[in-house]
């Protein structure tokens, strides 16, 4: 199995929220992207950008608001246009199919802490810890993925060190926020992995508490 697929797996089931649009070309291939809306148990939704090859798009006849099952990897790239977030996250689709399954959003990552954990407390008194994981992929490159832990997991993660190998399971989510600019407030969207479980990679009890691997 490809190294990146071992370290970086995502499974999404949701509804198309827009038509596919040309994204970019790389390695002699054309890539397209579209937004996928995945509902949470709370009733709110994450709208996540899916990227796929033209051949994958041509293999599935897509209408408006199709229900889709997507398996792939969370990818990051640096936005050098000077507009919006500097770090952009998408899902690179490895498999795409029509489905009638309920909404689902599961991510499994194994990476290295490349920035010191940022522990804080929300205004409502809940512990939260921000992590930045470098997840290796083929060709010597890495994806840099922001992750958050809550509660007891946040307090544990706050003790980790740069260079520690970490495993986590959770949800790939979108979050709106307001950015103050010279000409006023600008509405933006941030993307991150919200961890349901997280541990150092050598934790002997990881397999006892982690969900079943995505296959």
Gap between the Cα atoms of 15 and 204, Å rounded: 38
- Per-residue pLDDT averaged across 202-207, rounded? 70
| Per-residue pLDDT, 177 | 79
Domain 3-105 identical in fold to domain 108-209: yes
| Three-class DSSP category at 3 | helix
Homologous superfamily of the 3-105 domain (CATH): Nucleic acid-binding proteins (2.40.50.140)
Gap between the Cα atoms of 35 and 45, Å rounded: 12
Gap between the Cα atoms of 84 and 29, Å rounded: 26
pLDDT digits (tens, 9 = 90+) for 122-136: 999 999 999 999 999
H-run or E-run covering 107: strand 104-113
Please report, for the chain, the start and end positions of each structural domain, with discontinuous segments joined by +. Answer: 3-105, 108-209
Gap between the Cα atoms of 56 and 49, Å rounded: 15
pLDDT at 100 over 90: yes
Q: What is the mean pLDDT of the chain?
A: 89
Class of domain 108-209: mainly beta
pLDDT digits (tens, 9 = 90+) for 14-51: 999 999 999 999 889 999 999 999 999 998 999 999 99
Q: How does residue 160 score in pLDDT terms, banded at 50, 70 and 90?
A: very high
| Per-residue pLDDT, 1 | 46
Q: How does residue 204 score in pLDDT terms, banded at 50, 70 and 90?
A: confident
| Per-residue pLDDT, 5 | 63
In this structure, of 19-23, 55-59, 70-74, 173-177, the range with the lowest mean pLDDT score is 173-177
Length of the chain: 215
Residues 6+ positions from 63 with CB-CB distance below 8 Å: none
Q: How does residue 214 score in pLDDT terms, banded at 50, 70 and 90?
A: low
Q: Would you tell me how many other CB atoms lie within 10 Å of the CB of residue 95?
A: 11
- Token pair of 197 as six digits: 């479980």
- Per-residue pLDDT averaged across 70-86, rounded? 79
pTM of structure:
0.89
pLDDT at 104 over 50: yes
Strand-pairing partners, residue 52, are 32
């Amino acid at each position: 199995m490809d190294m990146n697929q071992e370290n970086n797996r995502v499974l999404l089931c949701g509804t198309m929220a827009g038509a596919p649009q040309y994204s970019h070309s790389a390695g002699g291939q054309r890539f397209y992207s579209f937004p996928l809306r995945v509902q949470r148990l709370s009733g709110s939704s994450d709208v996540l950008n899916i990227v796929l090859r033209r051949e994958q798009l041509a293999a599935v006849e897509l209408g408006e608001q199709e229900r889709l099952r997507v398996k792939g990897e969370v990818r990051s790239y640096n936005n050098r246009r000077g507009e919006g977030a500097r770090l952009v996250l998408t899902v690179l689709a490895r498999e795409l199919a029509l489905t009638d399954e309920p909404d689902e959003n599961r991510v499994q990552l194994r990476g290295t802490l490349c920035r010191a954990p940022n522990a804080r407390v929300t205004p409502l008194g809940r512990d939260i810890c921000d992590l930045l994981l470098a997840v290796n992929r083929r060709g010597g490159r890495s994806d840099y993925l922001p992750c958050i832990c809550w509660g007891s997991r946040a307090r544990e993660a706050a003790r980790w060190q740069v260079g520690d190998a970490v495993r986590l399971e959770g949800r790939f989510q979108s979050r709106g926020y307001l950015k103050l600019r010279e000409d006023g407030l600008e509405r933006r969207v941030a993307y991150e992995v919200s961890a349901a479980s997280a541990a150092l990679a050598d934790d002997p009890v990881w397999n006892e508490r982690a969900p079943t691997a995505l296959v």
